Amino acid sequence: MSFIWAIVTAMIFSYLFKSGWLFLLGLFVGPMLYRAFNQVAPVRQNQPSPTLFLTIAFEVLGHLSKAKGQVTQYDINIAQHFMDDLQLDPEKRKLAQDSFNRGKSLDYPLQDRLNELYEQYRSRRKVLNIFCETLIKAAISDGSLHEKEEQILYIVAQAFRIPRLQMSTYIQMMMASYQFQQGQQYQNNNQYRQQGYHKGSYQNKSPQNDINNAYKVLGVESSADNATIKRAYRKLMNEHHPDKLVSKGLPKEMLEAAKKRAQEIQIAYDLIKAHKGFK
């Protein structure tokens, strides 16, 4: 097909500009136009379903809960809390509940559903990353990651063409985010009021655990230089920018989760800046 594009483009160039050299140029440009068209056309023709992301997200959350054995009331509470965070209207909440229950079934077609989501969002990598973060956050909501849950997360990674090492890094970052969040809540309630902690500003008196977790939230080593830390911060904030995610097809209901993740990244970065003393 690219050969046909080359010939047609060459003939058009030659006819319009009456030049043999432009005929040769057309032979070169034609295949480039063909490749560009094939990259753009599928995206335009394959717009994601408005509810597909939300539906499969709650299906897989239900599947994660069932993977550990019996679904407990705690698992159900986690799913309901997530629905509250997303501020779902009654219709979307019913959709989420039905999806969660469907995911608990023994014959749930996990691989098929993940493949379906990947086909819809394959050109929207940031959205798929948000999906992974959402699953990891739910899986570690009790402070640990069950072996069966971890297996499912790596199945998701494989379906989304995410390297295993990269998914492992995501898991470490989200676990650090969970521990960092828990540490901040404890500090807010018990210590920072006495140490002059006000409206998100940090003192160098922050516990070492918080600082260590802050580095992990950004996915960098504590020995990283300032430039590396800044690059990691900018990359993560870019990946979680609400406007960019909406343009990539993330459902508006999921924006709140992305915003909260961005807030965690910002707080971790502010803590590291205060600790290392750079702006």
Domain of 191 in residue numbering reads as 184-276
């590396």: which residue's tokens? 228
Mean pLDDT of the region 29-51: 58
**Is pLDDT above 90 for 110?**
yes
Q: What would the DSSP string read from start to end of 36-89?
A: HHHHHHHHHH-PPPTTHHHHHHHHHHHHHHHHTSSPPHHHHHHHHHHHHHHT--
Q: What's the rounded mean pLDDT across residues 23-49?
A: 56
Same-domain check for residues 75 and 91: yes
Quote the mean pLDDT of the chain: 79
Cα angle for residues 200, 230, 236 (degrees, 5° grid): 75
Q: Is residue 153 located within the same domain as residue 73? A: yes
Structure confidence by residue, pLDDT tens digits, 52-61: 989 999 999 9
Q: Which of 39-43, 85-89, 229-233 has the highest mean pLDDT?
A: 229-233
The CATH code of the domain that includes 268 is 1.10.287
Let me know if residue 153 belongs to a domain: yes
Q: Kindly state whether residues 139 and 108 are assigned to the same domain.
A: yes
Tell me which of 35-49, 52-66, 135-149 is least confident.
Answer: 35-49
Q: What is the pLDDT of residues 192-214, one digit of tens each?
A: 445 544 444 434 445 667 788 88
Contacts of residue 145, defined as CB under 8 A and 6 or more positions apart, other chains included, come to 139, 171, 175
Domain count, the chain: 3
Phi, psi at 277, each rounded to 5°? 75, 40
Note whether 148 and 197 are same-domain residues: no
* DSSP letter, residue 3: H
Question: 134, 153, 173 — which closes off a domain?
Answer: 173
Contact 137, 179 (CB under 8 A): no
Does this model's pTM top 0.75? My answer is no
For residue 38, give the 3-state DSSP assignment.
Answer: helix
Of the given ranges (24-38, 66-80, 208-222), which has the lowest mean pLDDT? 24-38
Q: Does one domain contain both 191 and 79?
A: no
Residues 38 and 56 occupy one common structural domain: no
Position 258 scores a pLDDT of 81
Statement to judge: residues 111 and 7 lie in one domain: no
Residues 190 and 163 placed together within one structural domain of the fold? no
